[in-house]
């Protein structure tokens, strides 16, 4: 809702009239199992796409990392906004950093990406599932179920909870998920009026970066059941892309690939992402066929 209200305020500043249609998705409701076991990240967007298709809503606001790599026919990722902090955050009431934890401490996350990267940093830790909205996750932490938890820094900052962040992981420690920290706006392809209205909110360098990141995921299979990380940054005309794949069968085995190339448009960014994904596959990363 914060994200929707944020987009609403920006569009109103531009002269549009905007109302909110609050919805709860399956991804919000199913909290006792990991996303990889109940249908993946698409659980956060399905109901919103039904509202778009029926005309009940004109646009949908998503955390881009929750948006499947390929949208259904007739739908369009019409806008990518400027990215907030893409990094992961360490949150703990007692321990200032991951390295301060005692041996065998319990850390909460339901992300396979975070799990393999945490295990690479601290093989002795016990990683336990953690689902729910931010308030729910923080309450579980404060109740003593975990020594610490790992969350997206962007979500904490957007909700004014940055004081809960004890430390932000640098990207060379915990490479972010594709699209992490960015908002994506979805609309029906034929709604040219809506797409045009969102144009002023678009941030080109973010769009190029996340296009490369999402292309890595698409080439690898695009599933949240895969421990995959990808993060890109733009410096002038040059895009630097880092990707990593973790082996669930061999804890601590992380395959990495990166490159820097000149990128002028989304197609070039996507080709770069596909190339980096192939470097991971060539090293032994397992591609997953799309269902």
Write down the pLDDT at residue 289.
46
Write down the pLDDT at residue 224.
64
Confidence at 35, pLDDT banded by 50, 70, 90: very low
Q: How many CA atoms lie within 13 A of 15 on its CB side?
A: 2
Q: Which has more pLDDT, 232 or 28?
A: 232
Task: Reply yes or no on whether the pLDDT at 232 is more than 50.
Answer: yes
Quick check: is 66 catalytic?
yes
Write down the pLDDT at residue 118.
96
Give the mean pLDDT of 252-264: 96
Task: Reply yes or no on whether the pLDDT at 39 is more than 80.
Answer: no
pTM of the model: 0.89
**3-state class of 173 per DSSP?**
coil
Write down the pLDDT at residue 25.
56
Instruction: Outline where 58-133 has alpha helix (H).
Output: 112-121
Confidence at 290, pLDDT banded by 50, 70, 90: very low
CA distance 145 to 131: 13
Q: Which domains does the chain have, with CATH numbers?
A: 1-83+179-202 (3.40.190.10), 88-168 (3.40.190.10), 203-282 (3.30.160.40)
Give the mean pLDDT of 87-106: 97
Write down the pLDDT at residue 67.
86
Given 28, 58, 66, 85, the catalytic residue? 66
CA distance 141 to 89: 14
Write down the pLDDT at residue 139.
96
Per residue in 43-75, pLDDT (tens digit) is 557 888 889 999 999 999 999 988 888 889 999
CA distance 60 to 49: 8
Task: Reply yes or no on whether the pLDDT at 42 is more than 90.
Answer: no
Contact predicate 212/83, CB 8 Å: no
CA torsion 190-195-196-198 (nearest 10°) is 170
Structure tokens of 71? Answer: 């949208």
Per residue in 200-231, pLDDT (tens digit) is 999 999 999 999 999 999 999 876 678 999 99
Per residue in 187-204, pLDDT (tens digit) is 999 999 999 999 999 999
């Amino acid at each position: 809702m914060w994200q929707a209200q944020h987009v609403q305020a920006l569009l109103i500043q531009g002269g549009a009239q905007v109302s909110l249609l609050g919805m709860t998705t399956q991804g919000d409701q199913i909290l006792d199992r990991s996303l990889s076991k109940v249908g993946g990240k698409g659980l956060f967007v399905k109901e919103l796409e039904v509202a778009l298709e029926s005309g009940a809503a004109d646009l949908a606001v998503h955390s881009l990392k929750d948006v499947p790599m390929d949208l259904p026919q007739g739908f369009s990722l019409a806008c990518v906004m400027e990215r907030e902090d893409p990094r992961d955050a360490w949150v703990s009431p007692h321990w200032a950093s991951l390295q301060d934890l005692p041996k065998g401490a319990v850390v909460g996350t339901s992300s396979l990406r975070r799990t393999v990267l945490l295990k690479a940093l601290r093989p002795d830790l016990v990683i336990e599932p953690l689902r729910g909205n931010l308030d729910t996750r923080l309450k579980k932490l404060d109740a003593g179920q975990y020594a610490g938890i790992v969350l997206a820094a962007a979500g904490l900052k957007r909700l004014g909870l940055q004081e809960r962040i004890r430390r932000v992981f640098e990207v060379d420690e915990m490479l972010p998920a594709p699209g992490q920290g960015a908002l994506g706006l979805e609309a029906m392809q034929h709604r040219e009026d809506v797409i045009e209205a969102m144009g002023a909110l678009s941030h080109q360098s973010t769009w190029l970066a996340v296009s490369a990141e999402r292309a890595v995921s698409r080439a690898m299979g695009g599933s949240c059941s895969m421990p995959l990380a990808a993060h890109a940054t733009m410096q002038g005309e040059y895009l630097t892309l880092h990707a990593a794949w973790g082996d669930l069968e061999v804890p601590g085995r992380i395959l990495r690939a990166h490159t820097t190339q000149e990128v002028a448009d989304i197609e070039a960014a996507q080709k770069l992402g596909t190339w980096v994904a192939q470097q991971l596959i060539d090293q032994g990363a397992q591609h997953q066929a799309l269902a």
